[in-house]
Homo-oligomer: A and B are copies of this chain.
Amino acid sequence: MSAGPLPTIHEVARLAGVSVATVSKTLNRSGKVSELLQARVNAAARKLGYAPHASARSLRSGATRILGLLVADLANPYFLKLVESIEWLSSAAGYSVILCNSAEDPGREERHLAMLLSQRADGVIVIPTRRGWSGRQAALADLPMPGILVDRRIEGLDLDSVTTDNVALGRLAAEHLDDLGHRRIAVIMGSPEHQIARHRLDGLRSGLASRGITLDERLIEKDNFSEAAGHAAAMRLLRHAQRPTAIFATNNHLSLGLLRAIAESGLTIPDDLSVIAVDEPPWAGLVRPGMTIVTQPSEAIAQTTVSTLLSRVSEGRSGVEGEARSIQLQPALVVRGSTAAVRT
């Protein structure tokens, strides 16, 4: 915070003894400029510490090289991983990222979207809030720039999307538990209105069914996605007359609550109970025998998201409409010590 006003392209041009057009062409490597003048221009620019004015540039050129990243909930470690990767990839591709946290509040989400529109972001990546989309798909559909949904899809909205195959995720858990001989399997599923939770449960159910096992509906705990809810649900399950031999927690918060409940009950994993969770929480190392998990391919999701969006961006706003790509990526099973063969 010392220098006065920043140098403009005109001052660079004057110092180099050329026209502003030549400076622009040199700095952008567009058009033909002789070696000699290029050298003079570059020297002048360096000497003055010239930094092109992004607003002026985008006003004229129509591109901002800014991406909007609208996240439903930054506190969710899985979303955070996505944010990290997306920021990394975007900046590698020469784009800056405006971060917006909607904190699961549709109102904030809408305001942020309006801001990104005013900002003329070249593209918008949206991890949408769980609720409040019923009447507001329009806000996204009418966006004049390319947009892409991540992790959660919005029903009835014709937009590119990248998500985990959550049915497959549930099925992976089912197959693993069956392989270990489990029959009394419980699920802490979170909110039954949430599409993702439903898909995971469906996957589990159908996976078990295809092995000839019927999921006991009384062992499905539904509530919300908080740690407290996970804890409460776990407590109910553990007090059950016939305790389940395995529990599937469909989300990070829930599994944290589950683990706390198990610790408080003095039970031992996996001797008394097998546990399988979703995604690698940062504290996975704390669970003694290691956590068996089904993971979403966050890296690949980020990568696909950014490359799909950027390809739409370069297609131009004239990109052929009505053929939204909806990409599903496959989860993976990571077996560690928290699941074991059922005691006979």
Contact = CB atoms under 8 A, between A and B. Distances in A.
A18 interface: no
A125 to B, nearest CB: 12
A146 B115 contact: no
A130 interface: no
A281 B74 CA distance: 15
A267 interface: no
A260 B285 contact: yes
A295 to B, nearest CB: 17
Given A54-B118, A112-B91, A143 B256 contact: no
Contacts of A114: 51
A36 interface: no
B112 A51 contact: no
A209 interface: no
A314 to B, nearest CB: 14
B147 A1 contact: yes
Interface string A308-335: 0000100001010100000000000000
A78 B20 CA distance: 47
Contacts of A5: 144
Chain A contact residues, majority secondary structure: mixed
A268 B305 CA distance: 45
Contacts of A134: none
A275 interface: no
Given A87-B101, A96-B115, A286-B286, A120 B260 contact: no
B74 A64 contact: no
A88 interface: yes
Contacts of A97: 98-100
A286 B256 contact: yes
A59 interface: yes
A210 interface: no
B52 A55 contact: no
Contacts of A283: 256, 281-283, 286
Interface string A66-91: 10010000110100100110011001
A117 B276 CA distance: 47
A227 B84 CA distance: 19
Interface string A1-36: 111111000000000000000000000000000000
A124 to B, nearest CB: 10
A99 B115 contact: no
Contacts of A93: none
Contacts of A281: 282-283
A142 interface: yes
B1 A321 contact: yes
A88 to B, nearest CB: 7
Nearest to A115: B96
A213 interface: no
Contacts of A51: 114, 117-118
A232 interface: no
A86 to B, nearest CB: 10
A96 B115 CA distance: 8
Contact of A317 (B1, B66, B84, B319): B1
Interface in A251-287: 256, 259-260, 263-264, 281-283, 285-287
